[in-house]
Chains A and B, each alone.
Chain A
Amino acid sequence: MTAVDPHPGPLPRQRVTLRPWLLSLPALVLFAAVVVTPLVMTVVLSFHDFSTMGGIKPVFILKNWHDVFTDEYYREMFGRTIRIALWVTAICAVAGAPEAYILSRMSARWRGIFLLAILGPLLISVVARTLGWALLFGGATGVVNQALMKLGLLSRPLPFMFTETGMVVALSHVLVPFMVLSVWAALQRLDPQVENAALSLGASHATVLTRVVLPQAMPGVLSGAIIVFSLAASAFATPAIIGGRRLKVASTLAYDEFLNTLNWPLGAAVAVLLLAGIAAIVFGANRLVERRYASVFE
């Protein structure tokens, strides 16, 4: 999800003109007013004071930031956020990358059908998809739990709701299409003749996989991992539904501060930290991937 330059080739040199600015002016005004201003206001808000009696006081203090960094409660919650995001990223890489490779080896007709089945859920409401997981595994009424208990394979329902495992599984389902897409795009640059050449020269299938396919897929896996990690760390609806009111992650905590406790300055500090953390990781990882795999992107 980086800014894609639509045409890397040079355009003919043009004389300096205001036209592009005039053309993009309406959108630019909208973004200045409704994106940049609110974000700046949120950063400012995180330095304000709050008390239950007096509400928000527009002063400059570091109390919220101090709390967020030192309080054990917030540390545990940010730790959980990162832990879940890492697990989701790992599962998506391990499941999504092979699936993309399998898809790329299918005939065009089947591939079209399965791409629809795998990428389609990306467009379906995340609330509906998470509801599906709750229906499958939620407590004693969960369909899978009921079936397993009827078969005598389980005596108690599998713990899923209100667990980190449940969050990881449901989030992996929500985000794995991004990994498939990313690896799929990387594999499309792979000339199938290279695989055939390796095979004809006596390489085993395993060698072809590790020496030809994997190096080509790796940049896709890494850029997919960056997308999945950043989306998992900031996911809201899925952790809120599966985690309930007790098992909190950064985004659901910010929600609580804003809409229940009404401590907006503290909620703003949590949100700004989440944004800064994700931005740092995404930019850092992007730089790393681009440097390491510069030759593949050429």
Chain B
Amino acid sequence: MSRNGPLALAFHAAFVTFMVAPIAIVVLVAFTPEGFLSVPTTHWSLRWFRAIAGYPEFIEAFWSSLLLGALSSAIAITLSVPAALAVSRYRFPGRQALTALFLSPLMIPNVVLGIAFLRFFTQVGIGGTFAGLVLAHVVIVFPFALRLVLASATGLDRALENAAISLGASGFTVFRRVTLPLILPGVASGWMLAFIQSFDEVTMTVFIATPGASTLPVRMFLYIQDNIDPLVASVSAVVIAVTLIFMLLLDRLYGLDRLLSGRGRD
């Protein structure tokens, strides 16, 4: 049912190939039965996935990335709910500046944030710790969490809350029984988007990670700098799989284009 001409469709096909090819090749190479980089043609093998087991630093980093993502997103979303309610329902001097501050990690290059965190954490004595990683990740995923909570809090029908209040509910009960359930889709999607952002972050983390407290993307990055082999392709394939699961969930729950452009339900 396309209204695009043949030329447009050819361009479209080339564009989609350009987008998908580098990701597809990583997944293909991960299944090679050979000991070197190659695309499997006749035989497929899981040997490079089994080989990951021989590299405890990848396994460790995988679990630590999952924990880091879950924890920092949970903290970020917990902080962003009251902040989003403040920004969406009150007009007060400094409101715009506050919003700009909360969204500022999107504007500041991650390299600069990484350097600033490295300097700061070393000075205050939490350099190279997991706690430092969590703090840094809370900050960089906060704007993503805030935007989605904000979008759902802005569209909220205040009449429902007023009804609860007029029926005698206390402030906290209104929040727990009315407001929170209403903004829950935004909270859940915000947590997931924040998790993906944390799980994939490398540029900032590479500055503050140490062998004792690292993440999977950082391990992969440092590994690739020295050599590129099928092992790192199979590790990448695992990362891509984890991201894809979250992505499909998010697309169902929220819609990917709306999610990424940061626009509310409009």
Judge if B166 is at the interface, Cβ distance under 8 Å.
no
Closest Cβ of chain B to A193, distance in Å, is 14
Q: In the complex, what distance in Å separates the CA atom of A39 from the CA atom of B116?
A: 5
Question: Would you call B203 and A237 a contact (CB within 8 A)?
Answer: yes
Interface size, B (range): 35 or more
Judge if B180 is at the interface, Cβ distance under 8 Å.
no
Question: Would you call A127 and B202 a contact (CB within 8 A)?
Answer: yes
Closest Cβ of chain A to B82, distance in Å, is 4
Question: Would you call A31 and B2 a contact (CB within 8 A)?
Answer: no
Question: Would you call A98 and B11 a contact (CB within 8 A)?
Answer: yes
User: Among B21-29, B46-54, B55-63, which stretch is in contact with chain A?
Assistant: B21-29
Question: Would you call A116 and B251 a contact (CB within 8 A)?
Answer: yes
Residues of B within 8 A of A4 (CB): 103, 147, 262-263
Residues of B within 8 A of A182 (CB): 261
Contact mask A1-41 → B, CB, 8 Å, 1/0? 10111110011011011011101101110110011011101
Question: Would you call B25 and A132 a contact (CB within 8 A)?
Answer: yes
Residues of B within 8 A of A275 (CB): 108-109, 112
Known: A41-B116, A237-B203. A230 touches B263 (CB 8 A): no
Question: Would you call A234 and B25 a contact (CB within 8 A)?
Answer: no
Which of B23, B103, B106 lies in contact with A129, CB distance below 8 A?
A: B23
Question: Would you call A124 and B243 a contact (CB within 8 A)?
Answer: yes
Question: Would you call B123 and A6 a contact (CB within 8 A)?
Answer: no
Q: In the complex, what distance in Å separates the CA atom of A134 from the CA atom of B115?
A: 27
Which of A98, A131, A234, A274 counts the most chain B CB atoms within 10 A?
A131
Residues of A within 8 A of B38 (CB): 141
Q: In the complex, what distance in Å separates the CA atom of A24 from the CA atom of B82?
A: 6
User: Among A65-73, A104-112, A148-156, A290-298, which stretch is in contact with chain B?
Assistant: A104-112
Known: A132-B25, A135-B29. A236 touches B110 (CB 8 A): yes
Q: In the complex, what distance in Å separates the CA atom of A121 from the CA atom of B196?
A: 12
Judge if B80 is at the interface, Cβ distance under 8 Å.
yes
Known: A26-B82, A42-B116, A125-B202. A181 touches B261 (CB 8 A): yes
A-B contacts, CB under 8 A, total: 290
Residues of A within 8 A of B225 (CB): 240-241
- Smallest CB gap from B145: residue in A: A27
Interface hits, A248-298 → B, CB 8 Å: 251, 254-255, 258-259, 264, 267-268, 271-272, 274-275, 278-279, 282
Question: Would you call B107 and A42 a contact (CB within 8 A)?
Answer: no
Judge if B165 is at the interface, Cβ distance under 8 Å.
no
Contact mask B98-116 → A, CB, 8 Å, 1/0? 1111111111111111011
Which of B86, B110, B111, B207 lies in contact with A21, CB distance below 8 A?
A: B86
Which of B22, B107, B261 counts the most chain A CB atoms within 10 A?
B22
Residues of A within 8 A of B243 (CB): 123-125
Which of B20, B36, B96 counts the most chain A CB atoms within 10 A?
B20
Known: A107-B1, A120-B256, A258-B115. A28 touches B98 (CB 8 A): yes
Judge if A47 is at the interface, Cβ distance under 8 Å.
no
10 closest A-B pairs by beta carbon, nearest first, are A132-B22, A234-B109, A38-B120, A38-B116, A23-B86, A20-B86, A20-B90, A128-B236, A23-B82, A251-B111
A residues near B (Cβ < 8 Å) are: 1, 3-7, 10-11, 13-14, 16-17, 19-21, 23-24, 26-28, 30-31, 34-35, 37-39, 41-42, 45, 95, 98-99, 102-103, 105-107, 110, 114-136, 138, 141, 143, 170, 173, 176-177, 181-182, 184-185, 230, 233-237, 240-241, 251, 254-255, 258-259, 264, 267-268, 271-272, 274-275, 278-279, 282
Would you mind naming 16 contact pairs between A and B with Cβ atoms under 8 Å apart?
A: A28-B83, A30-B138, A34-B136, A38-B120, A41-B116, A121-B20, A123-B247, A124-B243, A125-B239, A131-B232, A135-B25, A141-B36, A141-B37, A173-B19, A181-B257, A185-B263
